[in-house]
Amino acid sequence: MIRRQGNMHGDGALGRLFGAWALAAFLVLAWAATAAAYFQDLGLGVRPAGMGEAFTAVADDSNAVLYNIAGLADLKMHEFNAMYSDLFSNLNAKLYSGETDFLGYHNLGLAVAMPPQFGNFALFWTLFNSRLYRENTFILGYGRNLGADLWRWLGAEESLGHIRLDAGLNLKFLNWEIPANEYTAANPAFNQGLSRTGVTADVGFLATLPDNVKVGMSLENFIPANVGLTIYETVPINFRLGTSYLYDWQGKLPVVDSLLGAVDFTQRYGISDIRIGVEGIFLKHLFALRVGTTADQFTTGASFFTPLNYANFDLRLDYAFGYPYNVEATWGSHRFSVVLRWDGIQGAEEDKPKTVMIRSEENMASKRERELAEERARERAQYLAMMERFRQDIRALQAELDEIMDSVHRGVIPAIQFTDGRAEVRPESFPTLNRVGEALARHSQIKVRLEGYTDGRGQELANLQLSQARMESVKSYLGKHFPVERQNLLPVGYGAARPVASNDTPAGRAANRRVEFTVLVPVGLDVAETASAGAPAESAAAEPVRPENTIRYEELARLQEKLQVYELEVNPQEVEDVFQQQHLENGHGPGTPAP
C-alpha cells in the first residue's frame, strides 16, 4: 500500500540520491515516508484495477501473471493483453525545467495455453515512465495444475480430489533508468551510473474449491534484487492472500449472468491493506461492470465483449478508473486495455496443399505414386488408431458412468437432485457430481449428453424449460470444478418425456425426476463390433449404436476428409506426359533418357 499525500512531498532511499525537487516526477512514487521508491505496486491490469486490485483468488485471465501466477495454469486459450494507463491525470507536477510531468503505466503480455500435462507459459513487459524516470520489468511466467498429481502421490484422491490446486512461478528482470542531464552530471552520486538491473521471482498458489470458491496466495519479489544506486537496496517482498466467490446466475435471470466477489489482504514494507472488489457480467456475456476499494483509492471499471461470433476467437475492451483519497488536484487514474483470446492453430502444415514437382532430370510419376501410397497408408493407420482409441475410451467412460448410476439406483450415493421448481443443484448431490466430473476429466475428448427429466406434473413447456436449465447448471458445475472440455458437454432437457415409472405414485414420480449421462459415439464408429477379446460375449453382441447417440467428432472428421482426398488416384500417364514435354524442351529426343 502507498500512502499518498496531497502536497506530494516524500522521502526514501532514492530521495537521498536525488536530494531535490528536480526529479519530482520520480519522487511522486515515494509518497510513503518509510518506503523505497523502486517498483511500487501501482496497479497493473485494467480488469483487476477496476476491482480494487482484489485479484489474487480470481486470476482467471492473463492478468494472473501480474497478481497470482498460479492462475495461468487454468487458461484454455492463448491470450494477448495490452494496457495503457494515465496515472493521476491533471496532477501537473512541475519539473525543475518548468515542464509539466506525466506518469504512465503500461504493459504488454502474451499467455500461451498448452496441453494440461505441459502447463501454460506467459511473457509480459511492464513499463512505468515519466519524463525523468522509467522502470522496465520483463516477466517469464509458468503455471501448472499440481492437484491431481499431488493428491495421487499423497494417496488423498478420495478426500481431496475435488479440489483443484494450481501453482506458478514468475522470473522477473527489473531495470530502472534516468536520462542524463545537467543535474545528474553535477551530482557525484550518479558517477556510478544512471540505471540499475536486478533479477527476482514470484511464486503463487490457487486452490479451487467446490461451490465456486477460490483461495489464492502470492509471494512477489521473494528473491532479493539489489537495485540501489549507492547502497544495497532491494525491491521489497509483496505478499498477497485472497479469496473469491462466483455466483452463476446464467439461465436464471434475464439480465445478470454472474456476480464475482473478491477480497485480498496485502502486505508490503510491513504496511497492510484490505482490497475488496465486485464484478458483474450481464446480457449473455456482452458487458461487465466492476467496483472496488483499497485503503487509499476507490475504483470502478467496465468491459465490452465484442460479438464477433467466432467460437475460437474473442476480443475484450476494458476500462478502469481509480480516484485516490489522499491526492488533491487530480482527475484520477485512467486505464485502458485490449485483450485478445484465440485457440491454437494445429495441423496447419499438414493441411497445406502438397505440390507435385516435375523436374526434367527424372521421371517423378512412379516416385510420386509411391509417396502418395505411403502417405495414404500412414494417414489410414493414424485414423484407425484414433478410432480404436475412441472405442476404448468410450467403453471405459460408459462403464464408469454406468457404475455411478448403478450406485445411485442402489442408494449407495445420493441421486442428483435440484431445488423444487428451480435449477439449483442441491449440495447433497455434489459428491455424485464430483464422481461424474472425475470420470469425464479422465476422458475429456469424449462428448457426453447430459439428459434431464422431470415427472409428469405441470405444463409440458415449463417442464422442458426447467429440465434444460437444470442441465445447464450441471454443465456449469462440472466445467468449473473439473478440467473438462465444456464444448464436449451437451445439456439437453427432455421434460416429462421417456418416463421410467408411473407418474401416479410418489415413488414413480421420484424415479422419473432423474439425470442421465449418454456417451456420444462418432458417426460411423460401431463400438460393439470390435469388442476386445477379453470382453464378455454379450458385449460383442450388443445392439448397434442408435443414430440419436452418434455425433460428428471434429478431429475424426478432419482426418476422414483428408483420407478422402488421398483416395483420389493420380494418373501416372498424365504425369508422364508432362515429363516428356519438359524432356523435349530441354533438347532431348523422345524416349531419350535424361542425363
286 domain-assigned: yes
How high is the pLDDT of residue 456? Answer: 82
Could you list the beta-strand ranges (E) of 484-576: 489-495, 514-519, 521-522, 550-551
How high is the pLDDT of residue 199? Answer: 95
- Pick the last residue of a domain from 298, 319, 342: 342
How high is the pLDDT of residue 173? Answer: 95
How high is the pLDDT of residue 138? Answer: 96
Do both 406 and 332 map to the same domain? Answer: no
Residue 210 predicted with pLDDT over 50: yes
Residue 332 predicted with pLDDT over 80: yes
Do both 250 and 309 map to the same domain? Answer: yes
Do both 274 and 378 map to the same domain? Answer: no
The larger pLDDT score, comparing residue 161 to residue 289, is at: 289
How high is the pLDDT of residue 233? Answer: 84
How high is the pLDDT of residue 58? Answer: 95
368 domain-assigned: no
Do both 173 and 48 map to the same domain? Answer: yes
Of 196, 234, 213, 244, the closest CA to residue 56 belongs to: 244
Residue 590 predicted with pLDDT over 60: no
Do both 35 and 153 map to the same domain? Answer: yes
Q: What is the pLDDT of residues 80-89, one digit of tens each?
A: 999 999 888 8
Backbone angles phi, psi at 506, to 5 degrees: -60, -40
Domain that holds residue 482: 373-559
Do both 292 and 436 map to the same domain? Answer: no
Do both 95 and 208 map to the same domain? Answer: yes
Span 455-465, average pLDDT: 84
454 domain-assigned: yes
The mean predicted confidence, pLDDT, of the chain is: 78
72 domain-assigned: yes
Do both 280 and 172 map to the same domain? Answer: yes
Do both 303 and 437 map to the same domain? Answer: no
How high is the pLDDT of residue 344? Answer: 55
10 Å CB burial of residue 52 (0-12, 13-18, 19+) is: buried
Residue 8 predicted with pLDDT over 50: no
How high is the pLDDT of residue 130? Answer: 84
Q: What is the CATH number of the domain that holds 441?
A: 3.30.1330.60
Q: What is the pLDDT of residues 262-272, one digit of tens each?
A: 999 999 888 89
528 domain-assigned: yes
1 domain-assigned: no
Q: What is the pLDDT of residues 340-382, one digit of tens each?
A: 998 754 433 444 444 444 444 445 556 666 777 777 777 777 7
Span 20-40, average pLDDT: 44
CA 237 – CA 224 distance, rounded (Å): 8
Provide the domain count of the chain. 2
Do both 439 and 304 map to the same domain? Answer: no
Contact (Cβ atoms closer than 8 angstroms) between residue 107 and residue 66: yes
Do both 166 and 297 map to the same domain? Answer: yes
Give 419-454 as a DSSP string.
Answer: -TTS-PBPGGGHHHHHHHHHHHHHTTTS-EEEEEE-
Contact (Cβ atoms closer than 8 angstroms) between residue 498 and residue 453: yes
82 domain-assigned: yes
How high is the pLDDT of residue 592? Answer: 43
Do both 381 and 324 map to the same domain? Answer: no
Backbone angles phi, psi at 104, to 5 degrees: -120, 150
Residue 570 pLDDT level (bands cut at 50, 70, 90): very low
Q: What is the CATH number of the domain that holds 305?
A: 2.40.160.40
574 domain-assigned: no
